[in-house]
Structure 1
């Protein structure tokens, strides 16, 4: 929160002057500001991760590493040659791992 250094400051004598009613009113306002209303109670249910996918069949075509790609020796991901940061003793390192 920003502080206005030009605003008059309360001295120790002023701190005890707040009444109980004022403090309770501030507390009520603060509590109501915390409440967040949901957008739609009629929204569709959200499917959580870990749902039963046993009847689903996935088909993914896996390609072998291409001539213009390399496998990083640190993260073991396949990258394009443009992502090569360094190569020493046959150990290739991508830009992400070198950073």
Structure 2
């Protein structure tokens, strides 16, 4: 935390009083723990500064499954064959999902 050495100093007594008053005001504030913002609405209204991406398209190149890869039946992540912990019913599970 930055310290402003030119600011007037408060005594220990003044600092204690400020802290107590601040705590009392927080305790009396019943709305302090509630958030009224809708996350979806906030995300829709968020725009990158100076960027209009409405005309852009996302292009993704999907690679075919490699011989040394598998898709975990638990987490559905593509992993290296060395990550196979067990196979149940023809389905492979990684170390994170096995057990």
TM value normalised by structure 2? 0.48
